[in-house]
Structure 1
Amino acid sequence: MTRRTMIAGAAAAGGLAAAPALAAPKAATGAGHPLDTHDALGLAELVRTRQVSPLELLEAAIGRTEALDPRFHFMAQRHYDYGRTAIDNGLPQGPFRGVPWLLKDLNTYIAGLPTGNGSRFFKDYRPGVTSELVRRIEKAGFVVFGKTVVPELGLTGTTENQVTGATRNPWNLAHIAGGSSGGAAVAVASGVIPAAHATDGGGSIRIPASCCGLFGLKPSRGRVPMGPPRTEGWGGLSVHHAVTRSVRDSAAILDVTHGVEPGSRYSAPTPYETFLAQVTKAPGKLRIALMLDAPSRAPIDPECRDAALAAARLCESLGHTVVEAAPKLDVAALGAAGFALIASSVAADMLDRAKATGIPVGPDVLEPITLAFVEMGQHVTGMDYVRANNALQAAALTMAQFMADYDMILSPTLAAPPLELGKINLTPGVDFAAWGARAAAFSPFTQVENMTGQPAMSVPLGMSKAGLPIGVMFVGRYGDEAGLLRLAGQLEQAAPWKDRRPQV
């Protein structure tokens, strides 16, 4: 049965009429300040036309940070004077000149300034290099004034750690903001800044975007620089980009950050046009595969399923063809592969940190689940690593063959609305297997794209009956961020979300 038939039947039965997925947005809560009324490109235009100064925007963002961080816990590092000095020294004439920016406090460096990685083990760490991504961000005119909170080493889908505590969702303080870019998502959702740096190694852009009602695009592997000192993370699983309010900001940020990095083993195909230009282009008639069941067969909350179904209906109303279909993936092999890559990477990094500091790996510096990763990662052999890499290549081939017949895959972003705090953090009262099962069940859709290298985006089309955001995910072919951005621009016009914000 085609998805068109299934959607029509569900609507006739009344199943979609009650779905919250395309609820009317709430009114904006801002009092007219540019940070409330403009996205990042809009702020840059105000700076260009001298309606506001970079320093005025920076001080406003700092003021909001100090007012809201005690409630939400999203700031890991404060680099206020660094930002002020950048303005005093004169900002580059880039497309984001004067716009305040926050980096994610995970393996993203400014030489001489602290990077904590959400861990007590890195409390005194000051790298000697500046990341290539940071150079490109600053060349574009962004003003960096701090770093956002992450779970320890970015290892879970919630942003809770023993250094800064629990990062809380501005839509409901009892719930998670997602992870590992939860601090970034809270900074944007709460109105501190309109866009922020984020990374994604298993869903860490898309999970918090879904939890906080934002647009979150995970780029293709090799699209955005990862180094130095290393040009890939977690064996190629991890990528950099951003969480944003608007689609055009995400596209324009990708324009100023993408491109070959010196020393990198690979890079994504160079686009023929800017990503920003794609946002206002018609996507054409797309053939979309609707995947409502997770590859792992984890149970899906009815509200998340309904949000995906409503998004399918919206796509059909825009002229696209939606068909129920899903790739056949070896879930067991992929699970083992992801674990081998991540655990061995964590183990190597923590043992290297222990050697550099003279501090032994243990519960005084690492959280229980992180310690379990270190212990098990030391038993991953070279052959295990090769087999993991082979499994990822096989999955990429399977997905490429499947997507020869489809332009995109549509699914829920997550299997449930934002969880309550304390469910999938790294200090649970359960063993590693139970924690892993719980974390995987919450986010069973997002990890595949990290393994295959494909771009994917979480689009804020849904709201739960309890008033929590629900994202819908679209996956594109490798290298085709342009196609995703064209569709995202169309969806943003058809079902606007810019005024749907938490009451902060």
Structure 2
Amino acid sequence: MGDGRVHAFGDDALGEHDAVALAEMVRVGGIAPEELARAAVARARRVDDALAPVAFAAYEAPRAARGESRDALLYGVPTYLKDNVDLRGMPTSQGSEAFLARPARRTGDVTRQFLATGLTVLGKSRLPEFGFNAATEFATAAPVRNPWKPSHSPGASSGGAAALVAAGVVPVAHANDGGGSIRIPAACCGLVGLKPTRGRLVLNDQARRLPIDLTTDGVLTRSVRDTAAFFAAAERHHRNPALPPLGLVAGPGDRPLRVGLVLDSPLTATDAETRRVVEETARRLEGMGHRVEPATLPFGEQFQRDFTLYWGFIAFLVAATGKLVHGPGFRPRRLDGLTLGLRRHFHREFGQLPGALRRLRQSEHTYAALFRDHDVILSPVLAHVSPQIGHLSPNVPFEQLLERLQRYVAFTPINNVTGAPGISLPAGASADGLPIGVHLSAAHGEERTLLELAFTLEADRPWRRIQD
């Protein structure tokens, strides 16, 4: 760790194995889930002071899968839940200082599906307040830091999960994505992060009540096969008949693809280092026999304004319903500067909401038209590399923070609004060693295409390892 990296890899029960390998070791009797859990707890304690990724620890009583889940693909592998889904007996704090969370009375549907994959939950990972920010930072509490370079952000909102996986505490962790919150921390921390098609997994308990469901759940991993195994295991618990079955994707595909290359968003130029990594990936794909040609994202200023207004609408609902949802101790004035600023933005523009909702819903058809000529769209995940801690702090004046977020998060929200799948892959690095991700998008229901292409890229050039 002399170069500033923080990780917990070592010669213990977890070793350097991914989740699939660990589950196989449990299956053949080579190791017990309890041994894996103890090793993960020891690793978490080694990095907690440096990275601060854990919201709630249940180390004395981890929650394991039971019954038929012993046959699940990931049985016995330790993990963390993101602190915005409910597991009975554990508090759900939503990353907020506006209330004191009580233990959840029930286990949410998302968590039930997650547990059905066989994973053992050691606790909750941290997120920024209600998942609104693209950095896991807080008004008064310590930020979550990037294991590759602790002076920088691990991304968000699944920043705690990303830090835990990248640092080697666990091989896989729960995440969810309402504007890029799986793919952004994957890009920042050198991980694989698949946002599935809306409805691929059971619907998020909170998002299903919104006019447009932006949020889908998933995982952050260090290997493509771990991501593929998770989705295969989750599908055994629930399969949406409206989508093509996914099954277990086990390796690269063999058909040439039409790849549309996007280097800049319509509103933001991509920085030179990120552009270099995306262009290198395009050349690699061409060398593999895929056809790569320029493409343009048909989403400009109006889409950005509409998304920001809807973002503000969600912040307004959080503030307005806080006492009902979180109890009488909820204090709206203690919400952080980003949440309060988004709420004020909505108050100023609320009359535009019906039109914004109509246009956002129509964007699904605009997105689908991209795939008449392309099988996959290759783009950056983010417009620039992970910023230093403080750049996206909720204590930055709101208008300045909003401008910074819009310049940074320039690609990922499209998939949330349209419900389409997208995956972030750790394709390169900046000159000073920060991971840089590339983004692959596909048509609705085409996660198999994304995973097969991800397997191809991983086999061609294995991902960088923080412990090397």
* 1:191 matched to 2:168: yes
Aligned-partner Cα distance in 1 for 2:283–2:131: 35
Q: Find the aligned partners of 1:147 and 1:234 in 2 and give their Cα distance.
A: 28
Alignment pair present for 1:440 and 2:432: no
Taking the TM superposition and a 5 Å limit, the aligned residue runs for 1:61-460 are 61-83=40-62, 86=64, 92-106=70-84, 108-162=85-139, 164-228=141-205, 231=208, 235-258=212-235, 269-274=242-247, 276-277=248-249, 279-296=250-267, 298-329=268-299, 331-355=300-324, 357-359=327-329, 361-363=331-333, 365-378=334-347, 381=350, 384-428=352-396, 430=397, 432-460=398-426
Change over 3 Å in CA distance of 1:412–1:319 after alignment to 2? same
Quote the Cα distance in structure 2 between the aligned partners of 1:273 and 1:124: 37
Identity %: 34
| Alignment-mate amino acid for residue 292 of structure 1 | L
- 1:259–1:332 CA distance, 2 compared to 1 (3 A): farther
1: distance between equivalents of 2:78 and 2:403? 38
Q: Flag the 1:76–1:31 CA change in 2: closer, same or farther, 3 A.
A: closer
Aligned-partner SS, 1:282: coil
Distance in 2, Cα, partners of 1:229 & 1:414: 26
CA distance in 2, matches of 1:324, 1:153: 36
Instruction: Give deviations 1:90-132, integer Å, cap 9, x for gaps.
Output: 96331111100101112x1012320111101232233322111
Pairs aligned (count): 462
Give the deviation of 1:241 after TM superposition.
Answer: 0.5
Distance 1:259-1:167 versus aligned 2 partners, 3 A rule = same
Other structure's SS at 2:123 match: strand
Does the aligned pair in 2 maintain the 1:225–1:231 contact within 8 Å?
no
Match for 1:285: what amino acid? P
Find the aligned partners of 1:163 and 1:34 in 2 and give their Cα distance.
36
1:489 aligns with 2:459: no
Residue 234 and residue 210 in structure 1: after superposition, are their counterparts in 2 closer, same or farther (change >3 A)?
Answer: farther
Q: Is the alpha carbon distance of 1:137 and 1:328 closer, same or farther for their aligned partners in structure 2, counting shifts above 3 Å? A: closer
- Gaps (5+ residues) in structure 2? none
Q: How far 1:299 sits from its partner (Å)?
A: 2.5
For residues 232 and 38 of structure 1, do their structure 2 counterparts lie closer, same or farther at Cα, with a shift above 3 Å needed? farther
Give the corresponding residue for 1:48: 27
Which range moved further: 372-381 or 54-63? 372-381
Is the Cα–Cα contact under 8 Å of residues 223 and 259 in structure 1 kept in the other structure? no
C-alpha distance in 2 between matches for 1:440 and 1:63? 38
* TM-score, structure 2 as length reference: 0.92
Following superposition, the deviation at residue 86 of structure 1 comes to 3.8
Confirm or deny: 8 A CA contact 2:187 2:425 kept in the other structure: yes
Q: RMSD between aligned alpha carbons?
A: 2.5
Q: Distance in 2 between matches of 1:353 and 1:249?
A: 36
CA distance in 1, matches of 2:363, 2:337: 31
Paired letter, 1:420: Q
Letter in 2 for 1:306: R
SS for the counterpart of 1:173 is coil
CA distance in 2, matches of 1:54, 1:132: 24
Query: Residues 38 and 485 (structure 1 numbering): CA distance in 2 closer, same or farther, change over 3 Å?
Result: same
Q: Distance in 1 between matches of 2:289 and 2:218?
A: 30
Q: Deviations over 1:381-433 (max 9, x none)?
A: 4x6433222212322211211211000111111111111010112111x2x22
Mean CA deviation greater in 397-406 or 130-139: 130-139
Distance 1:76 1:249 in 2: 24
The alpha carbon displacement at 1:332 in A equals 2.4
Compare 252-261 and 85-94 and name the one that shifted more: 85-94
Structure 1 residues without counterparts, runs of 5 or longer? 1-25
Provide closer, same or farther for how the CA distance between residues 155 and 268 of structure 1 changes in structure 2, counting only shifts above 3 A. farther
